[in-house]
Structure 1
Amino acid sequence: MQANYIFIGPSLGKIEGKLASNYLGVEYYSFQGIPYARAPVGNLRFKAPLPAEAWNGVLDGTKEGPACPSVHVLFRWVIGNEDNCLNLNVYIKELPKNGVPLKPVMVWVHGGGFTYGSNSTELYGPEYLITEDVILVTINYRLGIFGFICLEDEHLEVTGNAGLKDQVMALKWVRENIISFGGDPDNVTVFGQSAGGASVHFLTLSPLAKGLFHKVIIQSGSALSPWASGVRGVKHIREYMKTEENDESKILSMLQKMPTKELLTIQTNIPNMIIAGFQRFFGPVVEKPSKDAFISEEPEHLLKSGNYNKVPIIIGTTSNEAAFHRGIRVFEGLRWSFDCKLEIPLDLRKKLSEKEEAEVVKKIHNFYKLPEDVCEESSFELKSDNLFVHGCHRSMNYHIETNNNPIFCYKFSFEGRMNHTKNVSLAHFPKTHFLCMYLATMVGTGFMRDMLMKIAYSVGFEKISGSAHGDELSYLFGCLLSRQMKPNSSEEKTMKRLVKLWTNFAKHNNPTPENNGGDLGIKWIPIEKNKHHYLDIETELTMKMNPFSERNKFWNDIYDEYSKKRN
């Protein structure tokens, strides 16, 4: 059931939206594909975004706008285009009325390794979150070479972090325009997962984002994650451009004239493996100091100094982050290196001598009890720690020293049929499982859907415990594979709890406030110095102490020992 409505926007113009239904069948209003910045094409390609211009007539907000260019993470075809890819979606329960209080705003930043993803409802539908009285905004930002190439010549105005500057521009749009949708520009929560979580953390560190948000939720990623760091210059792409040119201005001119598909071919040919000690070529960089720099100091320095945007924080990970690796290997055709030198986080590895590196490798083998012939499954804990867990842990330790706002820690441990990342990753035939789940969703209901679901779950799965990287997303958003929610199931209960916790935080600065958190049956205690209280989100909610304590201590000791040797 859909009906079109005219929404009178701000100074930009009129927007036409539509009615949609949440997972309970209750209607809400959807406004999609709204440009928040000018199309980053021609001479604007790779550069910081410019504000969107007003439009004539009525903007069609009844369908999604284009994704920013990338290669589809599963099917490997080119998706998106640069024209109007800097768009956002706004979802509201009701049209604004005079005398009705402004509503809290939640702005979602998608993940995808700074290389993939979009704000598409295939992954991030509002059907769950919109059951609460909040306004949900989901944004696109430039990815890969388009959003994270960084040239040394600052006069060329390609200083890096264009994708992060897109996020800042989207938040400026929210500040200036969300009141037209009934949203409160003084109560904005930014949340994201994986590279989205790292992006949200970077936003807390950037002077450009000051005052644009008031709370953050950081899921399975941080500015200290070893993969959240790019490189400067063009040395790494020259050979893939098949040019001997060294002049950055000429290289920029060549890149700006290239078709999108050719640029993506260059990008996909550059190695980009998810290994702690491997440099991500297209990712956040520390820029040269200027008023327009997104970040001009190392994240660790900013966290230590307290020179950042201090707001209340929720931060956490899943219980077995690296269980998703098998799926990525299958779908991307990657080979995983188990050279333990490359399992040392990059920021630490760069400081080590050859002798010290060998010492750390031996410590890793002994602590994680790795066999001589290291297999992927035997390294799940190691990869979880050095890619996700310890970066979040270090970030919490710094924040507790310099941020007086509450910091809430969690671990998502729930294992259910909607843990789609884990299911796809650990299926014996992952492509078959995914395809059957996809077709079952397309069919909707009836015998054919039931048969496809039966086939999907008959392929067999590796028996590995814990929730994988991204599994919590299926309980926050209605995604392509999760449209059918069984009433009173453990999956629905988990979804309701997670949605309540996240939206309570957006509304009250507290996920379990006195008057609104009672139905959750628990009080979420913020962390303290040397007391890392955390909420274990399992079949039930439980407060515990010090997540992954022994593993985090191992890496704390490694960092402390080899940092002291440098002092």
Structure 2
Amino acid sequence: MMSEKYVIDTKLGKIKGKLASNYLGVEYYSFQGIPFARAPVGDLRFKAPLPAEAWNGVLDGTKEGPACPSVHMLFRWVTGNEDNCLNLNVYIKELPKDGVPLKPVMVWVHGGGFTYGSNSTELYGPEYLITEDVILVTINYRLGIFGFICLEDENLGVTGNAGLKDQVMALTWVRENIISFGGDPNNVTVFGESAGAASVHFLTLSSLAKGLFHKVIIQSGSALSPWAYGVRGVKHICEYMKTEENDESKILNMLQKMTTKDLLNIQTNIPDTIIAGFQRVFAPIVEKPSKDAFISEEPEHLLKSGNYNKVPIIIGTNSNEAAFHRGMRIFEGSRWSFDCKLEIPLDLRKKLSEKEEAEVVEKILNFYKLPADVREESSFELKSDNLFVHGCHRSLNYHIETNKNPIFCYKFSFEGSMNHTKNVSLAHFPKTYFLCMYLANMLGTGFTRNMLMKIAYSGGFKKISGCAHADELSYLFGSLLSRQMKPNSSEEKTMKRLVKLWTNFAKHNNPTPENDEDDLGIRWIPIEKNKHHYLDIETELTMKMNPFSERNKFWNDIYDEYSKKGN
């Protein structure tokens, strides 16, 4: 039976945790599956979350709670359930003691295109970050149709962005309860990657999140990313279900009675390409103005006006984001196709006449030097820019004008054996690579581990340079692919640097503070207007200027020339 000393007393009740070990074998304390909101079931399905209710006795926090429902990103099976999926995990280096200063808190928001993922240690284990003196919180939020369906009738209470409102509720729980774990509610850093990064950026724009966090780290995504927009109403759901019902109250009643599996089947069979090119159907939307709206103005308008939560920022992208594209197609079973018109960001394409669209296509083909028979890898720069790089760049330009807090920019360029997104995506036998690496890290030791890793690498890889989307995550979190780290390897050095930079920022508002006892050997200079200093995180750390400068200038010029024509 677990000792009473592993029990934390929160405002909602007592939670029993367990001891675990970081990658060095040093023990830390784990409290998992903590509910921060009521189960979003029955009449609460699709609606804004309600605070969790207090419980009697001691909550078992020794195992992970359920994920929110989704289709598994790699294996395509149904995972998670709605009951109690709005839970979070708290990892602490030591138990709280009287007289010990409160510790900085880092809250992780996972990615997955607003459709996949969870706070599970399968991908987001604390083994690396918990080596530093911070408290790590990893949260769930509703995904896909469950988190981002929107009805036009406001009286039905399904106004959209339930998944983002879940994140606000989780941060509210942190503000009210993290002090019980020794955390400082007045020093909270929210960080995320991909859709998690866009979520973090949306949180900076939302009045609902005001005062709930004090710093943000935005990794490979932003509120200006073209995939970070959903659709109002249930038109596409009704089309898929072949129903002509137009009474939203009846539609809602029908959807609330459906099984999780049936709803996921609807979600999976409504493609993101249904709307004149790529756009998420179930993703954040601009709500009608109300006191409960998460966001009721276009993100670009809020950034221009400065009407948002101004905090210190780290923001950046990886050196070859779109290298992950091949892997996503393989696991999702879709075929490669290329249509240059669909490479024009949707917000811009909507404003173009047919003649102007043809002009922009010609400019794209010439600038990126794309051959007539476009191969997948020849479009990686273009896809990287449109999906990730230029949205972050535009966001930076707006923040420079309206946010006086320090803003730090980076590019992650380190190419190592733990760049698993790229390895899975470019392996000749990606599923074999994934399975062998999983078995090597979860089950293998010694000879068995070495043999499994040999098999994983034996198929070879397409030779493409740069770091793919999400490659940096292997150096922030332990995962089912990379829990074991070779001592003194370049991979371990990169992990230590990245962890130090991120946790320094959480502690000091500065990733390279003066007199840091573990000197990183460099000063990360914040960006200035017309001077986009950035840290290149490679085998060594180097300060450079203007990441992807020519490519960003190309898209800046395109937007300047064409974006106002439709206004």
Q: Do these two structures clear the TM 0.5 threshold for a shared fold by scoring above it?
A: yes
How many Å apart are 1:273 and its aligned residue?
A: 4.9
The answer for the alignment partner of 1:161 in structure 2 is: 161
SS of 2:192's equivalent?
A: strand
The alpha-carbon deviation at position 338 of structure 1 amounts to 1.1
The structure-2 alpha-carbon separation of the partners of 1:5 and 1:241, relative to structure 1 and needing over 3 Å to count, comes to: farther
Matching residue of 2:560: 560
Answer whether contact 1:5 1:18 (CA < 8 A) is retained: no
Asked whether the 8 Å contact 1:276–1:387 carries over to 2, the reply is no
Residue of structure 2 in register with 1:102 after alignment: 102
- Is it true that 1:508 corresponds to 2:511 in the alignment? no
Q: Deviations over 1:237-288 (max 9, x none)?
A: 1122232211111110000000000000000001125999422100000000
Q: Is the aligned partner of 1:462 residue 2:453? A: no
* Distance (whole Å) between structure 1 residues aligned to residue 207 and residue 334 of structure 2: 37
Q: Distance in 1 between matches of 2:172 and 2:323?
A: 37
Q: CA deviation at 1:442?
A: 2.6
Query: Within 5 A, what are the aligned runs for 1:75-474?
Result: 75-273=75-273, 277-474=277-474
* 1:43-100, Cα deviation, whole Å (9 max, x unpaired): 0000000000001111000000000000001111100000000000000000000000
Find the residue that maps to 2:458 and give its secondary structure: coil
2:517 and 2:498 map into 1 onto residues whose CA distance is 12
* Residue 358 of structure 1, CA deviation: 0.6
| Structure 2: tracts of 5 or more residues without a match | none
Amino acid of the structure 2 residue aligned with 1:308: Y
CA-CA distance at 1:446 after TM superposition: 2.2
TM superposition shift of 1:11 = 2.2
How far apart are 1:6 and its partner, in Å?
3.7
1:118 aligned partner, one-letter code: S
- Which whole-Å CA distance do the structure 2 matches of 1:82 and 1:197 have between them? 24
Aligned to 1:551: 551
- AA of the residue aligned to 1:392: C
1:298 and 1:287 map into 2 onto residues whose CA distance is: 9
Q: Which residue identity lines up with residue 88 of structure 1 in the other structure?
A: L
RMSD: 1.3
Query: Counterpart of 2:483 in structure 1: which amino acid?
Result: R
Is the Cα–Cα contact under 8 Å of residues 32 and 65 in structure 1 kept in the other structure? yes
Q: What are the superposed Cα offsets for residues 365-402 of structure 1, whole Å, 9 maximum, x if unpaired?
A: 00001111111111000000000000000000000000
Residue in structure 2 matched with residue 65 of structure 1 by the alignment = 65
Q: Secondary structure at the match of 2:18?
A: strand
Q: Which runs of 5+ in 1 are unaligned?
A: none
Q: Distance in 1 between matches of 2:306 and 2:294?
A: 17
Supply the AA of the counterpart residue of 1:114.
F
Secondary structure at the counterpart of residue 520 of structure 1? coil
Deviation at 1:192, TM superposition (A): 0.1
Partners of 1:36 and 1:169 within 8 A in 2: yes
Secondary structure of 2:370's counterpart equals coil
> Displacement, 1:564?
4.2
Q: Retained in 1: the 8 A contact 2:8–2:181? A: no
Aligned equivalents of 1:286, 1:564: Cα separation in 2: 21
Distance 1:39 1:9 in 2: 22
CA contact (8 A) 1:15 1:59 kept: yes
The equivalent residue for 1:12 is 12
Q: Is the 8 A contact 1:128 1:476 kept in 2?
A: yes
**Which residue of 2 is the match for residue 37 of structure 1?**
37
- Distance in 1 (CA, whole Å) between partners of 2:387 and 2:89 is 30
Partners of 2:535 and 2:541 within 8 A in 1: yes
Deviation of 1:306 (Å): 0.2
CA apart distance, 1:563: 2.7
Q: Is the 8 A contact 2:351 2:565 kept in 1?
A: no
Q: 1:513 to 1:547 in 2, by over 3 A?
A: same
Q: Which residue of 2 aligns with 1:488?
A: 488
Structure 1 pair 272–564 and aligned structure 2 pair: CA distance change class (3 A): closer
Letter in 1 for 2:466: G
Preserved CA contact (<8 Å) 2:8 2:15: yes
Which one-letter code corresponds to 2:450 in the other structure?
A: D
How far, CA to CA, are the matches of 1:275 and 1:415 in structure 2? 36
Structure 1 residues 102 and 240, CA gap change in structure 2 (3 angstroms)? same
- For 1:351 and 1:301, the matched residues in 2 are separated by 17
Counterpart secondary structure, 2:522:
coil
- CA change 1:342–1:42 in 2 (3 A) is same
Calculate percent identity across the aligned residue pairs. Answer: 90
Distance (whole Å) between structure 1 residues aligned to residue 336 and residue 386 of structure 2: 15
Tell me the residue number matched to 1:519: 519
Query: Residue 352 of structure 2 contacts residue 565 of structure 2 at CA under 8 Å; is this kept in 1?
Result: no
Cα pair 1:319 1:467 within 8 Å, conserved: yes
Alignment CA distance shift 1:322-1:302 (3 Å): same
Q: Counterpart of 2:395 in structure 1: which amino acid?
A: S
CA distance in 2, matches of 1:197, 1:273: 22
Cα gap change, 1:198 to 1:276, in 2 (>3 Å)? farther
SS of 1:495 mapped into structure 2: helix
Query: Using the alignment, how far apart are the partners of 2:518 and 2:270 within structure 1?
Result: 51
8 Å contact from structure 1 (residues 314, 408) kept in 2? yes
Distance 1:3 1:484, change over 3 A: farther
Deviation, structure 1 residue 359: 0.5
Structure 1 contact 273–334 (Cα < 8 Å) conserved: no
Cα distance in 2 between the residues matched to 1:136 and 1:514: 24
Contact persistence 1:320–1:468 (CA under 8 A): yes
> What amino acid is the match of 1:385?
D
Letter in 2 for 1:421: T
Say whether the 8 Å CA contact 1:36–1:51 is kept in structure 2. Answer: yes
SS in 2 for 1:190: strand
**268-277 or 160-169: bigger deviation:** 268-277
